[in-house]
């Protein structure tokens, strides 16, 4: 039970809110009832993890890993073959369950959890998340991350994007072009501009 809890927490980044880990843990317990025989509540597990020096609580309802190596060790407990799908499922849980305000606060974490190697898949909801993350990254001048999120959002669009989702396509391609310009990659910027 503790191992499963640590695996979930490891996917949430270096710090997380009680509400976030609770959503993930409760959902994980329900979907993996056979794999995780969990009877301990989230609050009790968090207190145990603080006592055992895995987490610390710098402020009320917030926790963070004592050290990044501990987080990495917990992450390594997830089997290599299923790590990407495990992380993606946690991203999907958070996307479905978090309120709009909470989603905004942990938008990068959700986008990064969903940002696992998915090739040949179109998903408009993912494209929208990547657009929001790209816009947020641009607003804080994190242009490399903005470029990554915009590119991932573009990859989630269907082949008929200009007919089925023109507004989303224009926003993603325009943002990608703008960001490439900021990064000085003008040939890539021109490719995105020609597409629009």
| Average confidence (pLDDT) over 134-151 | 96
Task: Give the confidence band of 120 by pLDDT, cuts at 50, 70, 90.
Answer: low
Between residues 175 and 27, the one the model is more confident about? 175
Which is it for strands 62-65 and 55-59: parallel, antiparallel or unpaired?
A: antiparallel
Q: Model pTM?
A: 0.80
| Average confidence (pLDDT) over 136-153 | 95
Mind listing the pLDDT tens digit for each residue in 75-117?
A: 998 888 888 888 888 998 999 888 888 888 889 999 989 876 5
Q: What residues contact 163, with CB distance under 8 A and at least 6 apart?
A: none
| Average confidence (pLDDT) over 156-183 | 95
Distance CA 165, CA 160 (A): 8
Backbone angles phi, psi at 49, to 5 degrees: -65, -30
Nearest to 12 by CA among 100, 71, 79: 71
pLDDT at 35: 46
Mind listing the pLDDT tens digit for each residue in 54-80?
A: 999 998 989 999 999 999 999 998 888
pLDDT at 37: 53
Secondary structure of the chain in the HEC alphabet? CHHHHHHHHHCCCCEEEHHHHHHHHHHHHHHCCCCCCCCCCHHHHHHHHHHCCCEEEEECCEEEECCHHHHHHHHHCCCHHHHHHHHHHHHHHHHHHCCHHHHHHCHHHHHHHHCCCCCCCCCHHHHHHHHHHHHHHHHCCCHHHHHHHHHHHHHCCCCCHHHHCHHHHHHHHHHHHHHHHHCCCHHHHHHHHHHC
Distance CA 173, CA 101 (A): 26
């Amino acid at each position: 039970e503790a191992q499963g809890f640590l695996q979930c927490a490891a996917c949430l980044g270096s710090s997380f809110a009680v509400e976030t880990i609770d959503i993930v843990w409760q959902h994980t317990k329900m979907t993996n009832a056979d794999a995780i025989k969990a009877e301990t509540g989230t609050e009790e597990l968090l207190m145990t993890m603080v006592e055992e020096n895995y987490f610390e609580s710098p402020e009320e309802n917030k926790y963070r890993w004592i050290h990044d190596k501990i987080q990495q060790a917990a992450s390594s407990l997830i089997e290599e073959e299923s790590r990407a799908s495990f992380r993606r499922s946690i991203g999907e849980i958070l996307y479905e369950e978090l309120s709009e305000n909470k989603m905004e606060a942990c938008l990068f974490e959700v986008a990064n959890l969903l940002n696992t190697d998915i090739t040949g898949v179109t998903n408009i909801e993912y494209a929208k998340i990547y657009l929001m993350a790209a816009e947020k990254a641009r607003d804080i001048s994190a242009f490399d991350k903005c470029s990554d999120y915009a590119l991932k959002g573009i990859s989630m669009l269907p082949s008929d994007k200009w007919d089925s989702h023109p507004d989303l396509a224009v926003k993603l391609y325009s943002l990608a072009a703008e960001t490439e310009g900021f990064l000085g990659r003008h040939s890539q910027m021109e490719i995105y501009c020609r597409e629009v």
